[in-house]
Amino acid sequence: MTVAEMTDAAFAADVIERSRTLPVVVDFWATWCGPCRQLSPTIERIAADYDGSVVVVKMDVDANPRTAGTFGIQSIPTVMAFKDGKPVDGFLGAQPEAIVRDFFAGLVPSEDDRAVERAASMSDEQAAPILREILVRIVDHRGAILALARILGARGQADEAKALLARIPEDDEVRRVAAAADMAASVSSDLDALAAAASSDPAARVVYGRALAAAGLHTAAFEQLMNALQAGERDAARDVMLDMFALLGDEDPLTVRYRRELASALF
């Protein structure tokens, strides 16, 4: 496999932008570097197995000091992988072939990753057994956990969904899936009956607020929850509002507005 030489001038287009479509591996080297000459054939041999799914380029740090400086390349060989316009993995030195193979394998979807992708186009009934089978083999497979938790949440099985999500580190996406599972339990609620109960009971107002949120009536939900909080249901109303913030995301105007109002009411 012939590996193209990269330049400072072409780096933005041929590495950063191209990595938004395919992973790009950059082999930072120099002509005088013995370990570089030892590592490069290994990279090229392994890269041939990924032809079409991973792009590999070489970059002479002496001829292209700007890029080397930008990414803090202080010793060579340095190998760096880019995905979605940013560096995501890498290693230093002339590593054994097994390590280089593991590095490349981590850049492309595994068979289980592809199974999760295929499951996304299936019905929930078809997808769930496939996702559970993956989780028997890999108990913390993030994609399978998120996909199955969404299915369970939509079925009203919030506790099982959240138990699954506890296997992986919490981040914004995990919080959104957990919040959606909590909200889904209120989707089928009788809004008229809940509204009647909420008119004289702050605790019922929290339940009504959650049901409004589940129905997608977010502004009305926040208003009910703020009223409930001010009437004494501080913890319960706050918890539902936090779920809504997670579900809507930090940039949503309603999150910005009611997060500020919640903080003012609590503190």
Across residues 159-174, what is the average pLDDT? Answer: 91
Q: Please state which of the ranges 66-80, 173-187, 246-260 shows the lowest mean pLDDT.
A: 173-187
Fold of 4-105: Glutaredoxin (3.40.30)
Give one DSSP letter per residue of 148-204, joined into a string: HHHHHHHTT-HHHHHHHHTTS---HHHHHHHHHHHHHTTTT--HHHHHHHHTT-HHH
- In the residue annotation, 186 being an active-site residue is answered as no
Parse the chain into domains and list their residue ranges.
4-105, 111-184, 191-266
pLDDT at 2 > cutoff 70: no
pLDDT of residue 186: 66
15-44 pLDDT, tens digit per residue, is: 999 999 999 999 999 999 999 999 999 999
Token duo for residue 176:
């959104």
Across residues 55-65, what is the average pLDDT? Answer: 94
- In the residue annotation, 33 being an active-site residue is answered as yes
Average pLDDT over all residues of the chain:
91
pLDDT of residue 189: 66
- Residue among 6, 24, 25, 36 flagged as catalytic: 36
pLDDT of residue 50: 85
User: At 179, is the pLDDT very low, low, confident or very high (cuts 50, 70, 90)?
Assistant: confident
pTM: 0.59
Whether the Cβ atoms of residue 177 and residue 161 lie closer than 8 Å to each other: yes
pLDDT at 196 > cutoff 70: yes
- CB-count burial class (<10 Å; 0-12, 13-18, 19+) for 24: buried
Maximum average pLDDT range among 25-34, 196-205, 247-256 = 25-34
Token duo for residue 118:
């295929």
- Residue among 24, 33, 100, 248 flagged as catalytic: 33
Q: For residue 14, what is the DSSP state?
A: I
